[in-house]
Structure 1
Amino acid sequence: ILAAPGDLFETDQGSSTIFKFTPVGAKSTFATGLGGPFGLAVDGFGNVFEANFNTGTIFKFTPAGVKSTFASGLNGPVALAFDTSGNLFATEGAGGTIVKFTPAGVKSTFASGLNGPVALAFDASGNLFEADHGSNKIFKFTPAGVKTTFASGLHGPFGLAFHAGTLFESDTGSGTIIKFTAAGVKSTFASGLNTPTGLAFDASGNLFEADQASGTIFKFTPAGAKSTFASGLNEPSGLAFEPPTAQLVNISTRASVKTGAGVTIGGFIVTGTASKQVVVRGLGPTLGQPPFNVPNVLADPTLNLHDSTSSIATNDNWRDTQQAAIQATGLAPPNDAESAILITLQPGNYTAILAGKNGTTGVGLVEVYDINAGVFAELTNVSTRGFVGTGDNVMIGGFITQGGNGSTQVLVRGLGPTLAQSGISGVLADPFLRLFDGNGNVLYTNNNWKDTQQAAIQATGLAPPNDLEAAILVTVAAGHYTAILSGNGGGTGIGLVEIYKLR
């Protein structure tokens, strides 16, 4: 049974089965003969991963349903979640630990000493949240593993899911779904449920809840209106959606921010038929702190956002305006001197200009986050112009693709000589590109784009105009990627790094 975007998977503990539901509710059997199936997660290629509690195993199913063992010898695996680098996190409910698997299956311990960890969810900043059933708490872990208590005094927390920066939690003991703002403010989303367990959001923001004792999956609209999606199940537990085609949900560029033509200019394109809500951030001081420790950072970043005709929003310090709304997204800059703009954009071309206040300079970062990836609009291109130096002053373009029944094809370009045609002086004479995955592995390098992939790059219609410029055409799974633009042989100058999502 081939899985398709929008399909809902459900683990049926009582029948040891995984069922698949189409968006209109048509049910089919995806896998049988399991032993205590609990949590589900779907990777960037549309493969379904299932935590098999009784056998201590994590099984992997292709979209066609072909089964293999991904990991074994676990101590009661319950919950699964992928980070943006493709690493799989799993809770060992009987062992009180969270373990981490690289895409190659290499295992390490992320956290220990927990009391019945049964649910996992990542926020947009890469923090991992864990429902600790035995202690009635939700713990928060930074990407480095630093643990804090996010919420306490719950009644059997069992499911977690994020939507637009808000964390939803199923409380089995009280029969409620509780939601928390990014600041931890708690409110009740739904009540009167019968042992709510797994939670999952579809692309339209509807929340699906596995009601274990009643054998039902309920659907809640964003406004909280409840309906029955499926019934007659046998102890439903885990839920996971087959994501839509992978989208760019975060694009960012780090560069040495100068003055005049050397300010950092980040362009991006919104395509589709609907509006798109984004957070644009300009960071500086944060880059000087661990784990980055970048010297000579931009002390006081400012942002100026333009559409195709004029400036549409500006910001110096993010708390000056929109403080509560930005905090609610979970993407507030760490430093008060940094900039952020929360805005809803129509399809079109946009430019974010990152500069230092009063003409100051330093290393800065401009970012665009898509905070409602499910709508019929997406980010398809980022192009950032700025000064390319050496060492910490090279230009670093990052992008995150999320979801995906399959993979995403992107073209990364590094330009320099072409910019001189626009009257820019001091351009990067010979750009050099390197592309890394989220674990820091070099995927591809390129100096002159005609050296490799010439025909394929020309077929995209986006071949660089100058033979000395660089380009990489690559198909990637959902995850986190970094393109580093430098000068061949240590050259410096004004350069442009671009990332195009082709399909």
Structure 2
Amino acid sequence: MKSGVTNLFVTVIGLAAALVPVNSFAALGDLYEADFFSHTIFKFTRAGTKSTFASGQSLSEELAFDRFGNLFEADGGSGTIFKFTPAGTKTTFASGLSGPFGLAFDAAGNLFVADASSGTIFKFTPAGIKSTFASGLSSPDGLAFDSSGNLFEADFSSGTIFKFTPAGSKSTFASGVGNPVGLAFEPATGIVADISTRASVQTGNQVLIAGFILTGTDPKQVIVRALGPTLTSFGVANALQNPVLELHNSTSVIATNDDWQSAANANQIPTSPVDYRPPDSRESAILITLQPGAYTAIMSGKNSTTGNALVEVYDLATSTFSQLTNVSTRGFVGPGNNVMIGGFISSGGNGSVQVIVRALGPTLTQFGVSGALADPTLSLIDGNGNVVASNDNWKNTQQTAIQNSGLAPPNDLESAILATLTNGNYTAVVSGKNGGTGVALVEVYKK
């Protein structure tokens, strides 16, 4: 399935379905359940451990999370939309509704509410300002947005699924479907996240340079790390002893760090459920919230020192409407264990993602890079150490498919692999043919 292509699934059940508990997932993977009879919202961890998140509700109908992790509940008995912070603090977001059922957030953070008794879909801005999005409906229930911002509504009494454009234009998507109540889109393909590259850090134009693009609409918090001394404990020889890190946007340096504990926000680096603090005090880290755009992390050795090092970019806000895409790293490819190793994680979506991985060398010369790797070879390896695919000279394998992707390497000696991957950890290993050395670029594109 191509990225962004989704299928709509409809729950069709009888009138008694109004008594069925409604579920919603938090960004961390916990399951929240609105229990109709007990007037309680329960929380389940991924392991199935149950706890009470909120109690004393009237008639809980629907749940939905906003981009900041706040939980919204449609309370049909009181005609109220309640808002719960991640800590469980409850406030009234909206009141005076006739019978709220379906809830859905658009990409801008506006909340849409299907008010069944009044036959209306209301729109609430993040500040709580109310307007009528659609009226004259039979009995609106479930709501769901597609990736293009169109709103789909399950109209219970008429047995119809209506589609509304972002401007509010209404059309019939499906009819004669019984009594639809629930709508859900099959997830698009997964994302490429949490990138890392290990290479030999030299001086001049042979420092380690990691590039990434944030697409979408929301700011995203990331942490960029530069590790050196830690690699020694993993058997990596000649580790860089004191890495220095710079983060650039398209025009300038926006952050720097040498020794992560010296950063003003070092105490804000997350430690749970994953500890993102570098293990060694000489290593570097930048914790920052970025707007969508292109960024470059440059890693060098303090006082022009050299050695093997690892640069990493971690996505700390996977629930936002932005994602890491088109990741790349430029570095020096040496002999033996001094090859360049690019790592990435495929996650989310429907459990798979199609990528093109490229290894460029000769092309760098035209961009003023001296000492470019003359003939790069490429291997793609999964988290179990199995070789998924390998390539030397991209036209030797998958030539037609790679050309059709629009991402064919410019030089015939460069390498490329097109692969559909299940969610997991992967590494792309770039080496020089016949032991060749030089500066190369490894890239991962999500299709």
* Partner of residue 253 from structure 2, selected from 311, 324, 328: 311
* Partner of residue 203 from structure 2, selected from 259, 265, 272: 259
Alpha-carbon contact 1:6-1:203 (below 8 Å) kept: no
Per-residue displacement from partner, 1:436-455 (whole Å, max 9, x unpaired)? 11111100000000111111
| Count of equivalent residues | 321
Residue of structure 1 in register with 2:385 after alignment:
440
Q: How far apart are the structure 2 equivalents of 1:441 and 1:477? A: 13
Q: 1:448 to 1:281 in 2, by over 3 A?
A: same
Alpha-carbon shift at residue 390 of structure 1 (Å): 2.0
User: Counterparts of 1:50-61 in structure 2 under 5 Å?
Assistant: none
Residue of structure 2 in register with 1:116 after alignment:
none
Per-residue displacement from partner, 1:91-125 (whole Å, max 9, x unpaired)? xxxxxxxxxxxxxxxxxxxxxxxxxxxx99xxxxx
Q: Which amino acid aligns with 1:360?
A: T
Residue of structure 2 in register with 1:297 after alignment:
239
* Partner of residue 349 from structure 1, selected from 278, 294, 299: 294
Per-residue displacement from partner, 1:25-76 (whole Å, max 9, x unpaired)? 9xxxxxxxxxxxxxxxxxxxxxxxxxxxxxxxxxxxxxxxxxxxxxxxxxxx
Q: How far apart are the structure 2 equivalents of 1:382 and 1:20? A: 41
Q: How far apart are the structure 1 equivalents of 2:88 and 2:198? A: 40
Q: Which amino acid aligns with 2:86?
A: P
User: Counterparts of 1:233-382 in structure 2 under 5 Å?
Assistant: 245-289=189-233, 292-321=234-263, 322-328=265-271, 330-382=275-327
* Partner of residue 222 from structure 1, selected from 60, 76, 86: 86
Q: Which amino acid aligns with 1:296?
A: N
Q: CA RMSD in A?
A: 4.0
* Partner of residue 465 from structure 1, selected from 403, 406, 410: 410
Residue of structure 1 in register with 2:427 after alignment:
482
Per-residue displacement from partner, 1:350-398 (whole Å, max 9, x unpaired)? 1000011111111101111111111111111111111001222100000
Q: How far apart are the structure 2 equivalents of 1:366 and 1:6? A: 40
Q: How far apart are the structure 2 equivalents of 1:484 and 1:20? A: 48
Residue of structure 1 in register with 2:436 after alignment:
491
Alpha-carbon contact 1:404-1:478 (below 8 Å) kept: no
Residue of structure 1 in register with 2:45 after alignment:
160
TM-score normalised by the chain length of structure 2: 0.63
Residue of structure 1 in register with 2:95 after alignment:
none
Alpha-carbon shift at residue 501 of structure 1 (Å): 1.3
Alpha-carbon contact 1:6-1:243 (below 8 Å) kept: no
Q: How far apart are the structure 2 equivalents of 1:229 and 1:254? A: 51
Alpha-carbon shift at residue 206 of structure 1 (Å): 4.7
Q: How far apart are the structure 2 equivalents of 1:324 and 1:334? A: 14
User: Helix, strand or coil for the counterpart of 2:365?
Assistant: helix
TM-score normalised by the chain length of structure 1: 0.56
User: Helix, strand or coil for the counterpart of 1:425?
Assistant: coil
* Partner of residue 412 from structure 1, selected from 348, 351, 357: 357
Q: Which amino acid aligns with 2:223?
A: V
Alpha-carbon shift at residue 208 of structure 1 (Å): 9.9
Q: 1:470 to 1:346 in 2, by over 3 A?
A: same
Q: Which amino acid aligns with 2:302?
A: K
Q: 1:347 to 1:419 in 2, by over 3 A?
A: same
Q: How far apart are the structure 2 equivalents of 1:226 and 1:245? A: 35
User: Helix, strand or coil for the counterpart of 1:353?
Assistant: strand
Alpha-carbon contact 2:190-2:346 (below 8 Å) kept: yes
User: Helix, strand or coil for the counterpart of 1:458?
Assistant: helix
Alpha-carbon contact 1:245-1:406 (below 8 Å) kept: yes
Per-residue displacement from partner, 1:244-283 (whole Å, max 9, x unpaired)? 6412220111100001011001111111111111110101
Q: Which amino acid aligns with 1:310?
A: S
Q: 1:333 to 1:396 in 2, by over 3 A?
A: same
Per-residue displacement from partner, 1:193-232 (whole Å, max 9, x unpaired)? 9xxxxxx9887635699xxxxxxxx9844363459999xx
Residue of structure 2 in register with 1:238 after alignment:
none
More off after superposition, 323-332 vs 343-352: 323-332
* Bigger radius of gyration among the two: 2
User: Helix, strand or coil for the counterpart of 1:459?
Assistant: helix
* Partner of residue 376 from structure 2, selected from 431, 436, 453: 431
Q: How far apart are the structure 2 equivalents of 1:414 and 1:474? A: 14
Q: 1:226 to 1:478 in 2, by over 3 A?
A: farther
User: Helix, strand or coil for the counterpart of 1:261?
Assistant: helix
* Partner of residue 69 from structure 2, selected from 180, 186, 205: 205
Q: Give the percent of matched residue pairs that are identical in Structure 1 and Structure 2.
A: 60
Alpha-carbon shift at residue 476 of structure 1 (Å): 1.1
Alpha-carbon contact 1:161-1:201 (below 8 Å) kept: no
User: Helix, strand or coil for the counterpart of 2:282?
Assistant: coil
Residue of structure 1 in register with 2:96 after alignment:
none
